[in-house]
Amino acid sequence: MEAKNAEEIKKFVRDRYAEIARQQPPSCCAPQSEEASSCCGPSASETNIAHSLYSGEELESISANIASLGCGNPVALSELKENEVVLDLGSGGGLDCFLAAQRVGPQGKVIGLDMTPDMIQLARANAENLSLDNVEFRLGEMEHMPIESDSVDTVISNCVINLSPDKDAVFREVFRVLKPGGRLCVSDIVAHGELPASVRESLEQWACCVGGALEEKVYLDKIRAAGFVEVKVDGVNPTVCGEETACKSETMAEGRIASITVTAYKAK
């Protein structure tokens, strides 16, 4: 993809998610009505799809109504341990960070990375309300992470890497920041079948987690090409879009888009 086009995509995505961050409550993909739902998760029946992705116990544990804009629950499969350092790519309002913070304990650390200043502001406010001091949020891009090399035990991400126009750079950066033996656990959107040019070329569809979706095999091959081993798909779910959202497309209606959760390791 040409640099100009890549920057255009990033700007559109950043502006869209800034708008989402300013909504109360946040709702993915700029729905056309209050009843419209998020497009990025396996269930589009609710504006806040957290209840379809996380257990009641998980949501109750943080005692806060923080919207999910994701398509899975990477924390549940990440096997986090006490005292670990966790990095969440595209941390949004911070829900996955807060759940991860409970698992790593007070001596652990969770870093949320997001390229949208409004999302960073929202996440920091949520963290302050929850009185969490083992979570921090940094402004930055996945392709150029402001994170030290070999400093993170686990990288998680929830329906965000698909938004990047340079996924090879993202996976190389993930590999760089992970400690030897560290792991990646990501939920993301992939394509099952060729996507129409009208979807690929639509900024709206990119911002809705669809336009940038790779074929599942291509997505996994890019993870391996970055140096990861033991790459495994832990779950696949159909992804649907709400009838009233700006993300509705024939591609979704035909089932050519799915949510997968992938784990992979950096060799020791």
CATH fold label, 3-33+46-189: Rossmann fold (3.40.50)
Predicted model pTM = 0.87
Cα 24 from chain centroid (whole Å): 20
Burial of 86 (0-12, 13-18, 19+ CB in 10 A): buried
Beta-sheet pairing, 257-265 with 178-191: antiparallel
Measured distance CA(107)–CA(177) in Å, rounded: 20
pLDDT digits (tens, 9 = 90+) for 201-230: 899 999 988 999 999 999 999 999 999 999
Using an 8 Å Cβ cutoff, are 261 and 233 in contact?
yes
Task: Find, among 213, 170, 164, 169, the residue nearest to 188 by Cα.
Answer: 213
Q: Taking all residues of the chain, what is their mean pLDDT, rounded to a whole number? A: 84
Each domain of the chain, given as residue ranges in start order, spans: 3-33+46-189
pLDDT digits (tens, 9 = 90+) for 94-136: 999 999 999 999 999 999 999 999 999 999 999 999 999 999 9
70 conformational bin, left if phi > 0, alpha if psi -120 to 50, beta if neither: beta
- Within 13 Å and on the Cβ side, how many CA atoms surround 112? 30
